[in-house]
Structure 1
């Protein structure tokens, strides 16, 4: 939220940020609720004409730190992601570079 305010203060017309698949301000899950509230707050900023959130699932790619549970989740997701079709496709793991590329495209509509 602070970054969006700074962008607005610098007269940026757009702002793109990473949210989360399932973000919803009415969610009972704390994490998804906070992400949804943040989205609503940023989207309601009047000076940001091109505000957009990307909602990736599990992010793939190199990391600075090792998290055992996350590594297991990545392995499992890669194995079963072929089953993620139709409405489940949004839960497929995605490479961080693909998310970054999409964020750049969204910044230049």
Structure 2
């Protein structure tokens, strides 16, 4: 298991211990990212990258959710429909387990 996966597992264990339950994954998209060696021209060039597919968790009985990715973990609250209803609580590096623990305990 690589370090990113170990960090993700530790954060997921922390969320589950705090009462969060799995709630699917975020939408996954493949996009072309331009680079100096491979600029994007129309529908070609660039480097294919996959964005999204982060594990999502919800705290039952609340509007608080969390997503866990290899690099970042986000805690947020849903207060309405669509993106306008999303209110960020904290976005932290997944490897910063103590900071995530502090944020989760403050909820």
The answer, yes or no, to whether TM exceeds 0.5 is no
Measured against the shorter chain, the TM-score band is: under 0.3
Higher helix proportion (structure 1 or 2): 1
Greater relative contact order (Cα 8 A, min sep 6): structure 1 or 2? Answer: 1
- Per the normalisation by structure 1, the TM-score is 0.27
- Per the normalisation by structure 2, the TM-score is 0.27
